[in-house]
Homo-oligomer: A and B are copies of this chain.
Amino acid sequence: MIIELTQLTHKLVAQNKWGQAFDLIKTLPYPDVGNVLDKLPSDAAYKLLMTFGQEQRSHIFAYLNPVKASELFHLMDGDQTIALIEGMDHDVRADLFNRLTEEDRNTLLAGLKPAEREDIRSLASYAEKTVGAIMTSAYIALEDDLTVEQALLRIREKAADAEIIYQIYLIDKQRRLKGTLSLRQLLMAEPSAVLRDIMVTDVVSITTDEPQSQAIKLIAHYDFLALPVLDGEQHLLGIVTHDDVLDASQEESTEDQMLLGSVRADYPNSTSLKDASIWLLYRMRVFWLVILVFGNIFSGAGIAHFEDLIESMVTLVFFLPLLIDSGGNAGSQSSTLMVRALATGEVRARDWTFMLGKELSVSLLLGLSMAAGVSLIGFWRGGAEVALVVSLTMVVIVMVGSLIGMLLPFILTRLKLDPASASAPLITSICDGVGVLIYFNIANLLLDMPSI
Q: Does A227 contact B (CB under 8 A)?
A: no
A289 to B332, CA, bound (A): 11
- In chain A between 360 and 398, which residues have their CB closer than 8 angstroms to a CB of chain B? 361-362, 365-366, 369-370, 373-374, 377, 381, 398
- In chain A between 133 and 175, which residues have their CB closer than 8 angstroms to a CB of chain B? 152, 155-156, 159-160, 165-166
Q: Are B307 and A315 in contact (CB under 8 A)?
A: yes
**Shortest Cβ gap from A234 to chain B (Å):** 17
A204-B29 contact, Cβ under 8 Å, with A274-B346, A292-B329: yes
Q: Are A321 and B432 in contact (CB under 8 A)?
A: yes
Q: Are B319 and A321 in contact (CB under 8 A)?
A: no
Q: Are A293 and B432 in contact (CB under 8 A)?
A: no
Q: Are A321 and B436 in contact (CB under 8 A)?
A: yes
Q: Are A261 and B263 in contact (CB under 8 A)?
A: no
Q: How large is the interface on A (under 10, 10 to 19, 20 to 34, 35 or more residues)?
A: 35 or more
Question: What per-residue 1/0 map shows which CB atoms of A301-315 lie under 8 Å from chain B?
Answer: 001100100110011
Q: Does A212 contact B (CB under 8 A)?
A: no
Q: Are A254 and B340 in contact (CB under 8 A)?
A: yes
Residue of B nearest to A223 (CB): B243
Question: What per-residue 1/0 map shows which CB atoms of A228-247 lie under 8 Å from chain B?
Answer: 00000000000000110111
Q: Are A337 and B286 in contact (CB under 8 A)?
A: no
Contact of A332 among B262, B333, B335, B337 (CB under 8 A): B262
A31-B315 contact, Cβ under 8 Å, with A188-B159, A369-B290: no
Q: Does A6 contact B (CB under 8 A)?
A: no
Contact of A246 among B246, B315, B354, B377 (CB under 8 A): B246
Which of A50-58, A104-112, A422-430 lies at the interface?
A422-430
Which of A7-15, A95-103, A113-121, A277-285 lies at the interface?
A277-285
B-chain residues with CB within 8 Å of residue A361 when the two chains form the complex = 278
The 10 closest A-B pairs by CB, nearest first: A261-B336, A253-B253, A272-B346, A273-B341, A296-B322, A223-B243, A299-B321, A260-B260, A300-B318, A281-B362
Interface residues of A (CB under 8 A from B): 27, 29, 31, 152, 155-156, 159-160, 165-166, 183-184, 187-188, 202, 204, 216, 219-225, 242-243, 245-247, 249-250, 252-254, 256-258, 260-263, 272-274, 278, 281-282, 285-286, 288-290, 292-293, 296-297, 299-300, 303-304, 307, 310-311, 314-315, 317-322, 324-326, 329-330, 332-333, 335-338, 340-341, 344, 346-347, 351, 354-355, 358, 361-362, 365-366, 369-370, 373-374, 377, 381, 398, 424-425, 428-429, 432, 436
